[in-house]
Homo-oligomer: A and B are copies of this chain.
Amino acid sequence: MKTAARRLAVAKSPAPPVAGAPLRLESDYVLEQHIGHLLRRSHQRHVANFEKGLGALDLTPTQFAALAKIGERGEVSQNLLGRQTAMDPATIQGVIQRLMARNLIERRADPSDRRATLLRLTPAGLALTQNAIVKVEAVSQTTLAPLDARERAALALLLQKLSGLA
């Protein structure tokens, strides 16, 4: 009912808003060729592959990045982790909370800096991360499937330049 009512409300506007031929851009802007759109679509496709490929583990790309980085460093502050994984303090906050709720990481106050919080993996988190790393390799292969070896290397280099990592 609600739906029908709303649609009627929209449809009942007779002439004022919609008069003649639709307005068009005169410029021939091609969305599909623009770097932003291409980056967005490529990233989108990879994220979809990721969530397919890790299905049972129930990890998002950002959650995985956080786990991998903590596991690499042993123990990191929340803030440093954010910088290393390119996440806002506000963003990392939610990620940490969700990982902690699943008992994959634990935190303690930094004894030498009472502002900071140190993060480390739990045994469960370590096991899950090891497991995930294997599957993530497969996901990367899926994402990169349209490219041959030379193209893959070229793309990696270009993206590193683009994102300021090279």
User: A residues engaging B (CB < 8 A)?
Assistant: 7, 10-11, 13, 17-18, 21-25, 27, 29, 31-47, 50, 61, 65, 68-69, 71-75, 84-86, 106-109, 117, 120-123, 125-126, 129-130, 133, 136, 139-140, 143-144, 146-147, 151-152, 154-156, 158-165
Contact = CB atoms under 8 A, between A and B. Distances in A.
B10 A117 contact: yes
Contact of A120 (B18, B120, B144, B165): B18
25 contacts: A7-B109, A10-B117, A17-B106, A18-B120, A22-B120, A23-B125, A29-B68, A29-B133, A31-B72, A31-B84, A31-B85, A34-B136, A35-B152, A36-B136, A36-B143, A37-B86, A38-B160, A39-B39, A39-B42, A40-B61, A41-B163, A44-B86, A44-B163, A151-B158, A154-B154
A34 B29 CA distance: 32
A5 B140 CA distance: 43
A164 B45 contact: yes
B13 A108 contact: yes
- As for how many copies of this chain the complex holds, the number is 2
Contacts of A106: 17-18
A42 B74 CA distance: 27
A66 to B, nearest CB: 10
Contacts of A151: 158, 161
A120 to B, nearest CB: 4
A84 to B, nearest CB: 8
A74 B160 contact: no
A29 B120 CA distance: 17
